[in-house]
């Protein structure tokens, strides 16, 4: 079963961390509570700029998508902070899938260390995957593995994978994957 009931469960997510200070968690909580005011920004760049100024986190931004900004915690982990409703769903979804999937596919998912309302900490995967035919073949095999174990890998692409220390392809962004056909993730595509 999907972990949210109309957003109410999200309010009950733990907001404790061994890696983030209470000041940082409070800054993220404040950002999330104000985030709706900034939904009118049309580009991800505008949202990131607003988030950066509001959050004032000491970490370096190493990436972003349309819904989340990624910070390097400089300790082998990264922090993803939502800047849209889809980003909130994606963070919670990654934590849910990682903690509830079959062990046979868990090794192909970037490990989740901690999460709370609007944020998630995951292991940092440095290796970028080159755009090559052999990599696409590996990606297709990976997609079939996820499907075999009941995970629908929406948005599985080379930009969302990397190689771990064992030289295995792992998914670094699976916020739009789903284990449940009733998932809010699917509402964005149907």
Structure confidence by residue, pLDDT tens digits, 164-174: 888 889 999 99
The average pLDDT across 124-146 equals 86
Full-model pTM:
0.84
pLDDT the model gives residue 126? 74
Other CB atoms within a 10 A radius of the CB of residue 90 amount to 25
Please state, rounded to an integer, the average pLDDT across all residues of the chain: 83
Query: What separation in angstroms does the CA of 67 have from each of 2, 74, 101, 109, 130?
Result: 20, 22, 23, 19, 24
| Cα 58 from Cα 143, distance rounded (Å) | 36
The average pLDDT across 82-88 equals 89
| Cα 8 from Cα 103, distance rounded (Å) | 29
Give the count of alpha carbons within 13 A of 40, CB side only. Answer: 1
The pLDDT tens digits of the residues spanning 37-67 come to: 655 556 777 777 888 888 889 999 998 888 8
Q: Where are the domains of the chain?
A: 9-187
pLDDT the model gives residue 114? 95
């Amino acid at each position: 079963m999907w972990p949210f009931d109309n957003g109410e469960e999200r309010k009950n997510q733990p907001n404790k961390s061994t890696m983030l200070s209470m000041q940082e968690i409070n800054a993220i909580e404040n950002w999330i509570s104000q985030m709706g005011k900034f939904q009118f920004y049309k580009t991800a760049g505008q949202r990131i700029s607003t988030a950066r100024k509001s959050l004032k986190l000491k970490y370096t931004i190493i990436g972003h998508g349309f819904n989340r900004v990624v910070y390097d915690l400089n300790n082998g982990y990264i922090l993803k902070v939502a800047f849209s409703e889809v980003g909130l769903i994606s963070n919670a979804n990654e934590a849910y899938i990682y903690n509830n999937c079959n062990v046979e596919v868990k090794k192909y998912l970037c490990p989740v260390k901690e999460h709370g309302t609007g944020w998630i900490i995951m292991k940092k995967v440095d290796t970028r995957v080159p755009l090559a035919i052999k990599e696409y073949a590996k990606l297709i095999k990976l997609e079939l593995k996820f499907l075999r174990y009941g995970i629908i890998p929406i948005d599985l692409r080379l930009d969302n994978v990397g190689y771990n220390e064992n030289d295995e392809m792992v998914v670094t962004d699976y916020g739009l994957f789903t284990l449940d056909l009733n998932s809010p993730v699917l509402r964005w595509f149907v």
